[in-house]
C-alpha cells in the first residue's frame, strides 16, 4: 500500500466521528431554532396547535363515548338471562326438575329458579303495585327460570337455546333480549367503523395543516434558502429545521388533544357518578387507557413530521 493510501485511511477514520458530531449538532440546532421560530409568532402557533388539537381530540371523545356505550349495554342487559315462564299450575317439583336438566346443557352457565312468592315480593317493592296485590285472593304468578348463557356465547348459540326452551313441555313463554343484543352489537360495530374513518380523516387534516404552515414558512424564506443552496448546502440540511417545526406542531397538538380528552372525562365524572348511583352502582364507566393518551402526542408528532417532509421536499425542488 502506498503512503498516500495509508494516510487517507486514518484521515477517513478521523473524519467519520467529526461528521457524526456535526450531524448531531445540526439536529440539536435545528430543533432549538425551529422552536424559537414558533415562539417568535405565538398567536399563529397557538391557533395552529389549537386547530390540530381539537381535530385530534374528536376521535378520542368518540372513542370514549363508544367504550362507555359498550359498558352501558353490558350493565343494562347485553348479557341478560333468558327468562322462562312456566305454565300456571306447574308445581315446584316440575320447576326444580327442569332447572336441573337445563344446568346440564353445555351452553348454559347458570339457572336461577324464581318462585311465585319471590315474584310477588318484587312486584310489591315497585311503586303503585302494593295496593293492587293486596286485593288478590291468590298468587297468579308462575315459576320462572332465569337461564344465563355461558359468557362469550354467540348470537346463533343463544338463539338455538331460546328455540329449545320454547319447545319444552310446560313452558308458557320465553323472554329473550337476544334481538336487542344483536342490534346493539351491530350499532357498536358501525360506531367503531365511523370512529376509525373519522380518525383517518382528521389525521389527514392535521397533515394538511402542518404542510400548509411549513409551505408558507418556506415561501417567506425563499431568498435565504436560495442563498444556502448556492453556497452548497444540501437539501437535507436546509429542510431539517422545517421537519422539526412539523414535529413540534404535531407534538404540542397531540398533548393538547390528550388534555382535552382528560378534561372531558373530568367534566362527565359527576353526572356519570350520579347515574351510577341511580342504578345501585351497577353502571361502571371507563376512561381512555393511558397508553392511548400517551401515544396520541407521538402519533401526532409523526404526522407533523410527515406533512413537513412532503411539503418541504416539493418546495425545495422548486427552489432549486
Span 262-297, pLDDT tens digits: 998 888 878 877 877 776 665 667 788 889 899 999
By 3-state DSSP, what share of the chain in percent is helix, strand and coil, each rounded to 5? 75, 5, 20
Task: Pick from 104-113, 117-126, 138-147 the range whose average pLDDT is largest.
Answer: 104-113
Residue 257 inside a domain? The answer is yes
Q: Which domain holds residue 269?
A: 30-76+183-319
Cβ-based neighbours of 93, under 8 Å, separated by 6 or more: none
For residues 72 and 171, state if they share a domain. no
Task: Give the tens place of pLDDT for each residue, 25-60.
Answer: 877 888 888 889 888 889 989 999 999 999 899 888
Residues 170, 189: one domain?
Answer: no
The residues with which 173 forms a beta bridge, in sequence order, are: 85
Exposure letters 147-182 (e unless 16+ CB within 10 A, then b) = bebeeebeeeebeebbeebeeeeebeebebbbeebe
Number of other CB atoms surrounding residue 26 within 10 Å: 15
Domain count within the chain? 2
- 253: confidence class by pLDDT, cuts 50, 70, 90: very high
Alpha-carbon span 49 to 228, nearest angstrom: 29
pLDDT of res. 7: 46
72 plus 115 within the same structural domain: no
Please count the other Cβ atoms lying within 10 Å of the Cβ belonging to residue 62.
17
188-211 per-position pLDDT tens digit: 788 888 888 888 888 888 888 888
**Residue 191 shares a structural domain with residue 313:** yes
Please state whether the predicted TM-score (pTM) of the whole model is above 0.75: no
Amino acid at each position: 500500500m502506498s503512503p498516500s493510501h495509508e494516510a487517507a485511511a486514518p484521515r477517513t477514520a478521523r473524519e467519520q466521528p467529526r461528521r457524526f458530531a456535526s450531524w448531531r449538532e445540526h439536529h440539536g440546532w435545528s430543533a432549538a431554532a425551529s422552536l424559537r421560530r414558533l415562539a417568535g409568532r405565538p398567536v399563529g402557533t397557538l391557533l395552529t396547535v389549537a386547530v390540530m388539537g381539537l381535530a385530534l381530540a374528536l376521535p378520542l371523545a368518540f372513542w370514549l363515548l363508544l367504550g362507555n356505550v359498550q359498558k352501558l349495554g353490558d350493565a343494562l342487559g347485553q348479557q341478560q338471562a333468558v327468562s322462562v315462564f312456566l305454565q300456571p299450575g306447574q308445581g315446584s317439583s316440575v320447576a326444580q326438575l327442569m332447572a336441573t336438566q337445563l344446568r346440564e346443557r353445555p351452553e348454559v352457565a347458570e339457572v336461577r329458579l324464581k318462585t311465585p312468592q319471590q315474584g310477588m315480593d318484587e312486584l310489591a317493592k315497585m311503586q303503585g303495585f302494593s295496593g293492587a296485590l293486596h286485593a288478590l285472593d291468590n298468587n297468579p304468578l308462575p315459576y320462572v327460570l332465569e337461564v344465563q348463557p355461558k359468557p362469550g356465547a354467540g348470537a346463533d348459540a343463544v338463539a338455538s337455546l331460546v328455540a329449545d326452551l320454547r319447545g319444552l313441555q310446560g313452558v308458557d313463554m320465553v323472554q329473550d333480549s337476544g334481538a336487542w343484543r344483536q342490534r346493539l352489537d351491530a350499532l357498536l360495530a358501525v360506531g367503531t367503523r365511523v370512529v376509525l374513518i373519522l380518525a383517518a380523516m382528521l389525521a389527514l387534516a392535521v397533515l394538511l395543516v402542518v404542510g400548509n404552515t411549513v409551505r408558507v414558512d418556506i415561501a417567506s424564506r425563499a431568498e435565504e434558502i436560495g442563498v444556502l443552496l448556492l453556497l452548497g448546502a444540501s437539501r437535507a440540511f436546509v429542510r431539517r429545521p422545517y421537519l422539526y417545526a412539523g414535529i413540534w406542531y404535531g407534538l404540542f397538538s397531540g398533548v393538547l388533544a390528550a388534555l382535552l380528552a382528560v378534561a372531558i372525562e373530568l367534566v362527565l365524572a359527576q353526572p356519570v357518578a350520579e347515574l351510577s348511583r341511580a342504578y345501585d352502582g351497577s353502571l361502571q364507566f371507563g376512561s381512555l387507557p393511558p397508553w392511548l393518551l400517551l401515544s396520541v402526542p407521538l402519533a401526532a408528532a409523526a404526522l407533523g413530521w410527515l406533512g413537513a417532509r412532503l411539503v418541504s421536499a416539493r418546495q425545495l425542488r422548486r427552489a432549486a
